[in-house]
Chain A
């Protein structure tokens, strides 16, 4: 009973007071002998050693290996995420660059189209002007030709008429003079 223990300790204290040895009294009461103590000590140490070798060692090793694997996995994941982010950034930069380039090309094309259009318009305009000038010149030449033909024909008619009316054979000077007079009359 627990009371027995208290009594034993009290008895041990009394023994000590009487000059006895408390420790030996307690050892005797609780049967703590060197051999039994040594046996229990060896038992305990063997259990410690066996568990250390066959339980804690492998389990801690496995836990550490698993922890390392998880840490490696996380590091790899972080690396992959970093690579993905870099790749995305590179892609975005490339797309942005391509967009800028395309925009620049479009702007250039627009500018060159405008310039080309103006140039073509100017060319067409110049060409049209040239055609018009040529046409006018041709018309003027035609007119002058017709005018001279008309003058010649009119002179010839006038000379013929004059010759028939007067019965006079007209020389070149007469014909020239009559023509000029007739033309002056017509033109006026």
Chain B
């Protein structure tokens, strides 16, 4: 199986991502070295925390250009997905600009508390091998920011919390999931397995 590098961006969920891959029999390496990232068969960009801190960490290790030039399958998880877009309103942060769009704070209502925390369902907009067998699947979300839209040219799936937002995205080899597949039981295992088989 192709080698997997998890970009070590300092988030506390990195171990959880490693454990989830290990349960699939995948031995992933943690690294923030651009050469190791570029040489990987697959790259996972995790992330918990704020967009500004996430981008400065990427810049600190001179990973921005490396990430932009990757041609192997890349999966951004949660904040890692948000960093693939052009810009985040969280701390007014310029991001990697691999996908068009601005990440905004989820609007808070009495029916939709923020952070959006818990299990929610995805609706597939565009079939893709990553989401094979996962329409209407339940995934675990923890976030306050998202790409709120009822359509987006690169959206593979949407979820609704008060209003619709992009749950899964793809442009070329760059994939992103707003939820945490590593914490999403059978549906998450299936998504990670699909990613390994791309």
Q: Do A and B bind each other?
A: no
Spell out B's residues near A (CB within 8 Å): none
Listed in ascending order, the chain A residues whose CB lies under 8 Å from chain B are none
